[in-house]
Amino acid sequence: PNETRQAFPSGINGFERILPGPDRMYPDTDMPPVPLSEERIERAKGRLPHAPWERRAYYKKLGLSPEIIEDLVSDRRAPFFKQVVETLPLKPTLAAVILSQTLKSLERKGFPTAHLEENALLDLLRRFTDGEFAREGFPDILKLMSTEGWRPGEAIAKLGFVRLNDEDAREIVQIVGRVEESLEPRDPEKKWRYLMGVLMAELRGRVPGEKVASLLREVLGTEIEGNRRPIREGR
């Protein structure tokens, strides 16, 4: 039989236990029971992760959109997201987009962001809240961190994401904006989009996209419907 048998003094043997497999009971039946105190049980309860429905309620209270909530609710970095929003002066929506959507998007494109340590990500987010770079710089910084193994400070320095003040940013926007009179077509919407592309290629990570859009409106002296759209992180 597919079992372990025991020998008796009389010279015969008998069944002792079945061999390891799907029918065997665990913990091992040869092991004595281990008493669990109420204190130990309560400590274990305190370390349990939140259930999905508890996470959804928490994210809804933070004002996250349904789309972001569903992206984040099953994300392995969900506990880290909670730590971030409770320790840094960072908008929950931005933290959720970076930790869930942006990282997943880069992973799908072949960048090994899954192995990025939480300490490194926390350092990066802290540097953002300290004003070291603009939010549009996140994807490029994360690419270098994941492929080169650089720390956030090294990646920021390599990319040259030195935050510009309003005066310097305004001067650059004015220089680019001076060419608008010679641009074709004359459609203000298309002209605005073209100039925003030129400016963001130079100012990405150094000036927030919303600030660039505001300064460009001032230079063009017109209201463009398209530039009212929010500048979003790439997914």
Using DSSP, state whether 3 is helix, strand or coil: strand
Measure the CA angle with vertex 104, ends 103 and 108; round to 5°: 120
Predicted local distance difference test score (pLDDT) of residue 55: 92
**Which of the residues in the chain have pLDDT under 70?**
1, 22-30, 162-166, 168, 177-188, 203, 205-206, 221-235
Predicted local distance difference test score (pLDDT) of residue 60: 93
Instruction: Read off the pLDDT of residues 140-179 as tens digits, 9 standing for 90 and up.
Output: 899 999 998 889 888 888 887 766 666 767 777 777 766 6
Predicted local distance difference test score (pLDDT) of residue 191: 73
Using DSSP, state whether 46 is helix, strand or coil: helix
Predicted local distance difference test score (pLDDT) of residue 227: 44
C-alpha to C-alpha distances, 46 to 39, 51, 78, 84, nearest whole angstrom = 11, 13, 17, 20
Predicted local distance difference test score (pLDDT) of residue 231: 40
Q: What is the dihedral of CA 99, 100, 102, 108, to 10 degrees?
A: 130
Q: Which residue type occupies 52?
A: P
